[in-house]
């Protein structure tokens, strides 16, 4: 019985290594009773790209759950006006808040920004973009690219 379990274990490890080399992502359940999962990922990491529309006079928050920890998160965002009535492409403010809710990085009246930080604990990271203010009469579109390694 023990020998059969060991052979199965090696087959799973070999399969996981082959898939990681090929750039795959596998989720292996260690103990179904505990529902613990181990994420084996390719060396390239996980890339996420999204676009967020920020209405005039509003603040929009985009949250991203960390697929595994610890990890390094890096990337960039870029804002642009949606229609020709807008004076420029800037947004009033942008900030990133960590899993613990503390501010990691912030920008004021920028068109784009780059970020890089480490996440130690599982949870949600929040990206907040503000287009609020008296003179803000047109919406903005923000493109976000994130790489998690």
- Which pLDDT value is given to residue 43? 55
Q: Convert the pLDDT of each residue in 19-34 to its tens digit.
A: 445 454 444 433 333 2
Could you give phi then psi for residue 61, rounded to 5 degrees?
A: -115, 130
Q: Is the dihedral of CA 17, 22, 23, 26 positive or negative?
A: negative
93-113 tens-digit pLDDT: 999 999 999 999 999 999 999
Residue 68 — very low, low, confident or very high, per pLDDT cuts 50/70/90? confident
Contact 138, 90 (CB under 8 A): no
Average pLDDT over residues 84-95: 84
Q: What is the pTM of this model?
A: 0.69
pLDDT single digits (tens) 36-62: 233 434 457 889 999 999 998 999 999
Of the candidate ranges 8-12, 41-45, 54-58, 120-124, the one whose mean pLDDT is the lowest: 8-12
Whether the CB-CB separation of 79 and 140 falls below 8 Å is answered with yes
Tokens representing 79? 């804002």
pLDDT at 84: 74
Q: Could you please report the per-residue DSSP string of 47-80?
A: EEEEEEEE-TT-EEEEEEE-SSSSEEEEEEEEEE
Reading the block at residue 146, the tokens are 């994130």
């Amino acid at each position: 019985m023990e020998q059969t379990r060991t052979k199965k274990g090696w087959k799973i490890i070999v399969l996981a290594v082959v898939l990681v080399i090929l750039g795959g992502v596998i989720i292996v359940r260690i103990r179904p009773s505990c529902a613990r999962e181990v994420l084996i990922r390719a060396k390239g990491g996980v890339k996420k790209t999204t676009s967020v529309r920020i209405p005039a006079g509003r603040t929009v928050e985009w949250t991203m759950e960390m697929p595994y920890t610890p990890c390094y998160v890096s990337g960039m965002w870029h804002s642009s006006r949606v229609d020709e009535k807008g004076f420029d492409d800037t947004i009033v403010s942008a900030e990133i808040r960590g899993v613990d809710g503390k501010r990691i990085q912030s920008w004021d009246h920028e068109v784009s920004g780059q970020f890089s930080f480490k996440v130690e604990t599982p949870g949600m990271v929040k990206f907040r973009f503000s287009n609020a203010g008296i003179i803000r009469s047109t919406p903005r579109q923000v493109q976000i690219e994130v790489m998690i390694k």
